Structure 1
Amino acid sequence: MSSAQGLSWGILGAARIARALLPAIRAAGGKVTMLGVREPRSERAQAFAAQWGIERVGSYADVLASEVEAIYNPLPNDAHLPWTEAALRAGKHALTEKPLALHAGEAQALADAAAQTGRVLLEAFAYRFQPQVIRLRELVRSGELGEIRAYRGAFGFPLTRPDDFRWLAERGGGALYDVGCYPVNLARLLLGEPESVTAQARWTPGGVDVGLSGTLHFGASLASIDCAFDWGPVPTQRLTLVGTSGTLEMAGAFRSKTDTETALRVQTDKGERTETFPPHDGYAAMVAHFQRVVRGDEPARYPPEDAVRQARVLDALYAAAREGQAAMVNR
């Protein structure tokens, strides 16, 4: 993508994940011209801007009042709705970290704001732009595995920082929002929308799910998802598909950027094979797609309504875990 097609960007906050998006924006031909933070004059904000060559530092509101065309919102989960909606209303396109919002009602409010303003809104699941995930969808749709009967997706890691917002219920913390949303999202990509869910969770005294396991019911298919903040010693990402004609396994299924080769293993009655994929930057691919959608060069692969449907499933999983009984997915 040439720089002529890139957008001018503003970043809301200096979150760790922003360090992955900044080079991705540049690789996609965009330019980050402004950083918005709570304390613009702080040493940390100024150092971050200097490190990444960002010309201006201001408040979140300053970014929305500037001439930037798009914003990236990696703020804590409870700040996704207010600042993304404010950005859309200010005429900015918005790439917002997952989960897009804390429940389906908030996600719908953002989808409505995008429709009303004519701005592009995308939930930042960069893993969906990895070639191995695109190939995975092709394999499932081809019927090589037959009808998928079982899906098993797991994503967890040891969260050792006690002051991390993900330990706070009021900030939208919890393992399902942070990492469980990935296997849920991929199950939806492969199997469609679930009819109902069941779930159980391990809760902190503050009401945050440190670990959650759930089952999504897709008629003839069942998808099990597991996520946690206390798995170790290293992050775990695994995917298994079991069909009527074969099986598939992939490690690192939810990585947004890979520095090493990724392997996808398939076994059918015709034998076994391994398909490999070179290192790839899903962040840059996502940003490039986002910018092409803004420029009108291609349709959105994942319009805001997809994020609303995702939120409905997360809502149902939390309801099932809290109430101890199956929950229907609101369609």
Structure 2
Amino acid sequence: MFALPIGSLLSVPVSGYWVAKAGSRTVVVFSAFLYPLVLLAIGFSAGVWSLIAALFLFGMLGNMLNISINTQAVGVEAAYERNIMATFHGMWSLAGFAGAGIGAVMIAASIPPGTHYLMIAGAVAIVLAFTVKYLLPEDVNTDKDKPIFSLPDRSLVVLGIIAFCSMMCEGAMFDWSGVYFNKVIAVKQDWIGIGYTVFMISMAGTRFVADKLVYRFGLKKILVGSGLFTATGFFLSVLLPHFETSLLGFFIIGIGVSSVVPLVFSAAGRSKIQSPGIALASVSTLGFFGFLIGPPVIGLVAGATDLRLSFALLGAMGLAVATLSSKGSV
């Protein structure tokens, strides 16, 4: 289970460097075509060590594709001269729903993982063959005089901390929302996943309107509002731990966390100090740490006290997003 996130984390500096040197198009093509092949390796792994190796490579290629395709998105934004990053991330959310749905069908039909992954890899290869030609040939905001390795400036550090706080909340929701409805709300077994479902629907849906809101109100106001929505949702669920109020709280949390990462990535891609790939890698690293440590921290606090206090701490992370966004140079 650790192989995938370790591979993803270790690929961050390599991905940023390669994008800066070779351009995001090259990295997208390389990682996008190998990604489904490694998925096949996972499905057909015959032992523990081969599975560990495949998961490690899957994590590396996934994050490599993440940084390079977000760099492409920064270029598309520059061409449109307005924010559209959140919409791209909305498509990622839809793909998550599609992947979960297809997986459920495969499990219900008793189709082996190897066969399932072979079908997915084939479909992905066909899509890539028709779409690669539309990738931008050159990245925006690149300058050969910009250093490849340099410490991120204050603005990138602030963006990274904002991403850390928001992704800590997001990661905790992925792993603990069902537990919250089970242990705190005490719903029937069939309803344990309802909170997570509402959260995901809210997060995905909001991403498709976030860019219009940024265009109208500005990046800073939307980030501040996102933090306040996140905090409100958690505190509502903690203070009124009932089925209806917690569902509403989880829906509000989805609104809050939906736009933070794409908007932070968009802002980082416009860095005047570092190239887009390096800047995205720097911010992505801090955000990824939040995503990794969020679930275990919630578990530790819940074990020492209770789960409601853990969720209250996540509400404080939402307030931190709002505070940093209001005072930082975003």
Q: Same fold (TM over 0.5)?
A: no
Return the TM-score normalized by structure 1. Answer: 0.28
Q: Which has the higher contact order (CA 8 A, sep 6+)?
A: 2
Instruction: Point out the structure with the larger helix share.
Output: 2
Return the TM-score normalized by structure 2. Answer: 0.28
Instruction: Point out the structure with the larger strand share.
Output: 1
